[in-house]
Structure 1
Amino acid sequence: MKLLVLGGTNFFGMKAVQQLLDNGHDVTIATRGNKPNPFEGKAMHITLDARDASHEGWTEVTDQQWDAVFDNICYTADDARIIMDKFKGSIDHLYFTSSMAVYSGDIDGYTEADFDPLTYHINPNIEVNYGEGKRQVEQVLFTEAPFKLTAFRFPIVLDLDDYTERLHFYVEKVMNDEVVYFTDPEIKVNYVKGTKAAESIVWAIENQKEGIYNISSRNAITVETFIA
């Protein structure tokens, strides 16, 4: 397959690209070029600011035909509309990273149906945080996109090479006997390993899966359990 990955130089996006290359796919990554291409000699690189509809990199992207596109950097409704405009009529399938943050409310275990982008209405007057941004991305794409869609609703992704070092923060606090504050230690949180997140992306692409998937550990744990 000839695949385009928007992003692909960090964390589980990079792991997914490596797995796709290992499986023999023709992969091109498109990034702003702030980091060297980690797949030099294996994957082509296009310099592109995907959030800028007028960026010159779009010419090289849209001049080619792609079997599928994986977008790992779509955060807002505006981002989604640019993607729809650029790939309208030229791709058959878009895979994109969403988030378990689209869910809201005190529910002990979510299913995909607990947030439905087809019935969600965007309120232009509310603050667009990460979760709201992903809700709006899903709403725009699933109600307007002219191509097939697959959304991955990931929880917190952890692995040894997590560049955000979010797990390191807590480990270091505990090791140094420093205080860590939580508003609700009984709240349950889901996680997934970065390698498993990448495997799920590759699985969906290779099997042309459509729809919405929660890619997560089977069991949520409380913050108190996590700290213990």
Structure 2
Amino acid sequence: MDNALVIGGTRFIGRHLVSDLLENDYDVTIFNRGNHDNPFADDPRVQHVQGDRTDDEALRTAKLTVEPDAVFDCVAYKPREVATAVDTFTDVDAYVYISSGDAYETEEIPKREGVTELRDCSDEQATDDSHDSYGPRKAEGDRVVFEAASRGINAMSVRPCIVYGPHDYTERLDYWIDRVLNYDRIVVPGDGTNIWHRAYVEDVASAMRIVAEEGEAGESYNVGDRRLVTLEEMVDVIADAAGTDVEVVHAGERELAASGLEPSDFVLYRDYPHVLSTAKLADLGWESTPVEEAMRRSVEDHRESDRDGSEHDPGREAEQRVLSILDTL
């Protein structure tokens, strides 16, 4: 395979995927509406076909224009979009769909492909745009991939957990980086041992390419850092990457409630550990970036951006009240 079509390709995961494909000598075309700045606009190696992926005719036109060997679907959010794509690209060498670790229904450690149950998806959820239906929609997209493979289509999926790294427009990690860069004492809910598996974005990009090259039709592959860190360890890794020292202050539910907060107000906190097995992907030859290096690149990008994670801020004044309460205990 040497000719790739990336549906999406300009914002976050798709942007890193395009870079990874270029580094591995692919001819790359991106297909999107053009609503966001194209970081590859001045790169002659990257072609651009403009169109809406929800427009079936536009998708067919992209196929006829590019004649891709591999298709990477970064922006399929509804099952119908996946169904249209697999039927459009029936004869490609690989169609890779980005699913999500949120597609899993059962809470178990770790969550394994083909073993851990997926979420159900109702007809209403399949067409809904809300956050609550995101996991069910991704799970149904996986089932579309499985069915397509049963018809001989070389369709596969990757399931990343929480993705972080340069150009992350969600700003989830940016909240914690901003706290570390600006404060000496960082409030962490609970005892700091909460685990929500994360995946460095460049590793998600390389995983998609490797799955296209080495994966099996009808299979899904989890993607996540090979080394997991707790919430407190993540703060420490950020501090090391930033070259600073911080004090992590644990706050229980009672102390948080006294300031009108609860643990879930802190982004990347999760009561039950969310852990994905990545052994299946590793068996294809995939490797992940060491967490320390991934965080160094993330902090460097944060400093060069205008992102501060303020959308996720529970309020520094409330945190200060928590710190004052804890200081009196």
TM over 0.5: yes
- What are the within-5 Å matches in structure 2 for residues 47-126 of structure 1? 47-54=50-57, 56=58, 58-88=60-90, 90-115=91-116, 122-126=121-125
Taking only aligned residues, the RMSD between alpha carbons, in angstroms, comes to: 2.9
Residue identity opposite 1:49 in structure 2: D
Deviations 1:118-140 (A, max 9, x none): xx764325566211110011112
Residue 186 of structure 1: how far off its partner (Å): 5.7
AA at the equivalent of 2:209: V
> What is residue 213 of structure 1 aligned with on the other side?
221
Which runs of structure 1 show a deviation greater than 6 angstroms over 4 or more consecutive aligned residues? 177-185
CA shift, 1:69, in A, is: 0.7
Distance 1:116 1:91, change over 3 A: farther
Residue identity in the other structure for 1:78: R
The letter of the residue matching 1:70 is: F
Structure 2 stretches lacking a partner, 5+ long: 236-247, 249-329
Higher strand share: 1
Task: Find out whether 1:151 has 2:157 as its counterpart.
Answer: yes
Q: Percent identity?
A: 29
Of the three residues 205, 208, 228, the one matched with 1:201 is 208
- Partners of 1:59 and 1:160 lie apart in 2 by 32
TM-score between both structures, scaled by the size of structure 2: 0.59
- Change in 2 beyond 3 A, CA 1:182/1:131: farther
Aligned residues: 224
Closer, same or farther in 2 for the Cα pair 1:176/1:51, shift >3 Å? farther
Is 2:22 the partner of 1:14?
no
* CA deviation map 1:179-218 (0-9, x unaligned): 9796997652101111222222222334355421111123
Q: Which has the higher contact order (CA 8 A, sep 6+)?
A: 1
Is the partner of 2:4 in helix, strand or coil?
strand
Structure 1 unaligned blocks of 5 or more: none
Kindly indicate whether the alpha-carbon contact (under 8 Å) linking 1:7 and 1:13 is maintained by their aligned counterparts in 2.
yes
The alignment status of 1:5 with 2:12, answered yes or no, reads no
Q: Output one character per residue of 1:154-199: Cα deviation in whole Å (capped at 9) or x when no partner.
A: 0111113323221112333564589979699765210111122222
Max Rg structure = 2
